[in-house]
Chain A
Amino acid sequence: MEKDKNFVLGIYNDEDILLSAIRKVRESGVKIQEVYSPFPVHGIDEALGYKRTRLPIAAFMFGLLGTTLAVTMQVWMMGVDWPMIIGGKDFVSLPPFVPVTFELTVLLSALGMVATFMIVSDLKPYKKPRLMDIRITDDKHVMAIDLADNDLEKEDIKKIVKETSAEEINDKNF
């Protein structure tokens, strides 16, 4: 956790006002550190200029790993390590391997993607959250502006935030 960080917080009640506020603040050249919300706000990623997450790629790669592992495992166990005659069937035939291959693809894809999500978002048990405002998980949206990121004076930033019809404007120091 960083020390001595000073933030200006704009607190909003309404997601549409928040979205227009984000645009206005960014247009006036102020850098927003992050916006915190009680629920996912549609279009906030574009307003903040975030790039699309690459998590789908992670999911695909883990899925591919699952497919490979499943096929290798079945072919090796049934065909190489200990071939057995079961009802006169071929040792290695792909159709009966489809269900297990499918399940392992889904399993590894899901678990791998979720693990990636946890790691990149730094979500883990017993982690102390750095909460900008206790009401974020209830009903308030908070726009956090890091003073160190901006050349403008604190009062100027507050003025810009004030013009976006924020409900409250607070200071927060970590």
Chain B
Amino acid sequence: MAIPVDDILVKEEEKQNLSSVSVIREPLVTGGKTVHDVTEDICRQVEGKPTLSWMLGMAISLGTLGIGAYCVFMLLWEGIGVWGLNKTVGWAWDITNFVWWVGIGHAGTLISAILLLFRQKWRMSINRAAEAMTIFAVICAAMFPGLHMGRLWLGFYWALPLPNTFGSLWVNFNSPLLWDVFAISTYFTVSLVFWYIGLIPDFASIRDRAKNSISKAVYGALSFGWDGAAKTWMRYESVALILAGLATPLVLSVHTIVSFDFATSVIPGWHTTIFPPYFVAGAIFSGFAMVLTLMLITRKTFKLEDYITINHIELMNIVIIITGSIVGIAYITEFFIAWYSGVEAEQYAFLNRMTGPYWWAYWTMMTCNVISPQLFWFKKIRTNIAATFILSIVVNIGMWFERFVIIVTSLHRDYLPSSWAMFYPTVYDVGVYLFTFGLFGTAFLLFAKFFPVINMAEVKSIIKTSSRQNS
């Protein structure tokens, strides 16, 4: 029984005074959206039938996954000899791809954790998809060290601290490769939990709108009986803040530890103390580029232009300029220190990178990572969607080459000229890489269809301060 309220105490003018839209900052949500519009706009994707472009994307992803799966099968059947590795170059595409995917996986937690601590509200419409991307990218990354072991099924004995009676000795806690196991699995688990906690209120929204019994049951189970109580919200916010506080050093630690895989060795070109910050900056750089690539497509196909605005794209491009410049400075510093150290082997390793047989990889990396992001200094370019889309892909090509250059050029000419060799990828190197693309694409498309791609609850909380400007 509803009682309409006739005598409204708060008059219309007062209501308008209550709204506290900033006049200085640009709105984060355009199109004069109301709170209800947010629910409608985001749930539409989940409730509607799959679109043609989604089906097409899924077909391409599954096709890639299938081709890749054949290559993975052949790799497991024959052993890692099917890759182009040799005795001199024992790490190549596999570890390049591993580091590349882990790097991409850094943006999600950065956006949701570090930007939460800095109270950057623009993260709200991109954090959900960025976190999903993180989780899928980390899964793709973890494939490579696993497959590189050759006998994947023995990975448990080699990577986890299991008692000696299981057939092997305790793991070696002095090894950075083991630190990686702990870092990546912790990062994956914490990111997954963080992501899921954020999803619960949105699953509840979908549950309460669901028309058919299947989605009612599924989203009902996923939403954990969420009822929106103020007490739960209070705890929820506290949990999110502490998870952000924990995830911030965690995200910095992960790529630091990945860089230790190289930095703690005695290979010229690898054992440099600059690696941890340089890898972290590179990870954020490539991660943001991947978020942009994905968000520009999602925004267009799902018509989310009012939520992911030019303002968001510009801010992400600014992060790309900053991290890209850090990466550029790191490249130059590395060079300077190689010369300044006076260590011949170190000097040779760097000269060989620039002018040796892999010069083209080096210069691709320099062009893509150092020069191309500088174009974003121009406001016209960083607010242009087509330019951003192209440059975001260019950055990730560059970041792939960065890892390739670090790994292969440092290894292929070692201390004995008689063992100098070249690395040439085989079809299985390419195929396993494709496998992870197929996996990533399939997972992301499933996410985009069945999960709310934008954090509805968070965006609703800023509607009042950041949306009504345009209405």
Contact = CB atoms under 8 A, between A and B. Distances in A.
A81 interface: yes
A138 B205 contact: yes
A170 B18 contact: no
B404 to A, nearest CB: 26
A107 B208 CA distance: 33
A157 to B, nearest CB: 12
Interface residues of A, number: 78
A77 B169 CA distance: 10
A168 B2 contact: yes
Given A39-B460, A74-B173, A165-B10, A125 B205 contact: no
A23 to B, nearest CB: 13
Nearest to A97: B173
A169 to B, nearest CB: 4
Contacts of A45: 230, 234
B227 A129 contact: yes
B5 A169 contact: yes
A117 B236 contact: yes
Given A100-B179, A110-B243, A165-B10, A34 B229 contact: yes
Contacts of B249: 102, 106
A165 B36 contact: no
A25 interface: no
A2 B182 CA distance: 45
A121 B224 CA distance: 10
Interface string A35-52: 111111110110010101
Interface in A85-137: 86-87, 89, 96-97, 99-100, 102-104, 106-107, 109-111, 113-114, 117-118, 120-132, 134-137
Nearest to A158: B3
Contacts of A84: 169, 172
B141 to A, nearest CB: 16
Contact of B173 (A56, A78, A129): A78
B35 interface: yes
B174 A89 contact: yes
A170 B3 CA distance: 7
Question: Which of A39, A48, A113, A135 gathers most chain B CB within 10 Å?
Answer: A39
Nearest to B2: A168
Contacts of B242: 55-56, 59, 113
Contacts of B193: 110-111, 114
B34 A139 contact: yes
B239 A100 contact: no
B231 A96 contact: no
A162 B230 CA distance: 21
Given A39-B458, A121-B235, A168-B3, A138 B36 contact: yes
Interface residues of B, number: 77
Interface stretch (B90-98, B196-204, B373-381): B196-204
Contact of B4 (A53, A82, A158, A168): A168
A93 to B, nearest CB: 8
B210 to A, nearest CB: 11
B36 A130 contact: no
Contacts of B461: 39-42
Interface in B223-258: 223-239, 242-243, 246-247, 249-250, 253, 257
B336 to A, nearest CB: 28
B178 interface: yes
A152 interface: no
Interface string B1-27: 111110111100001001100000000
Interface stretch (B99-107, B183-191, B385-393, B418-426): B183-191
B257 A99 contact: yes
Contact of A38 (B253, B457, B464): B457
A44 B234 contact: yes
A124 B18 CA distance: 37
Contacts of A99: 176, 179, 182-183, 253, 257, 260
B5 A162 contact: yes
A126 B227 contact: no
Given A84-B169, A139-B460, A126 B220 contact: yes
A73 interface: yes
Given A53-B238, A77-B170, A170-B1, A165 B230 contact: no
Interface in A1-60: 14-17, 34-42, 44-45, 48, 50, 52-53, 55-56, 59
Contact of A137 (B5, B34, B161, B208): B208
Question: Which of A107, A110, A134 gathers most chain B CB within 10 Å?
Answer: A110
27 contacts: A17-B15, A34-B231, A36-B228, A36-B230, A37-B230, A38-B460, A44-B230, A45-B230, A48-B230, A56-B242, A73-B161, A87-B174, A96-B174, A100-B179, A106-B190, A107-B186, A110-B189, A124-B224, A128-B220, A129-B223, A136-B228, A137-B204, A137-B205, A138-B36, A162-B3, A168-B2, A170-B1
Interface of A: 14-17, 34-42, 44-45, 48, 50, 52-53, 55-56, 59, 73-74, 77-78, 81-82, 84, 86-87, 89, 96-97, 99-100, 102-104, 106-107, 109-111, 113-114, 117-118, 120-132, 134-139, 158, 162-171
List 10 A-B pairs, minimum CB-CB distance, nearest first: A127-B225, A139-B35, A99-B179, A123-B224, A39-B461, A39-B460, A137-B205, A103-B182, A103-B186, A36-B228
Given A100-B178, A124-B225, 7 more contacts: A36-B229, A41-B230, A78-B170, A103-B183, A104-B186, A120-B235, A138-B205
